Structure 1
Amino acid sequence: MSLEQQLIERLQTLAPSHLEVINESAGHGGYFPGKE
């Protein structure tokens, strides 16, 4: 399991609704953390 997957699982536990927003944003091709 990658570090990213571990962080995602922890975020799902802490803030599942927030993680859904992150995944939705990441789904719009070309998204990278910190990229505006």
Structure 2
Amino acid sequence: MLAEIFLLKLEALMRVAAIDRRAASSDPRFVPVVLPQH
């Protein structure tokens, strides 16, 4: 159970990091979507 929660959190963090990289490199419109998730 704890492993599943950890994997879900890790997946969410990786997704946010990927969006951050994409936003910083190309499209600033993604930034307001990322901020509330931190």
**TM-score per shorter chain, which class?**
0.3 to 0.5
**What is the TM-score normalised by the length of structure 1?**
0.41
- TM-score by length of structure 2 reads 0.39
Point out the structure with the larger helix share.
2
The higher relative CO (CA closer than 8 Å, separation ≥ 6) is in 2
CA radius of gyration, larger in = 2
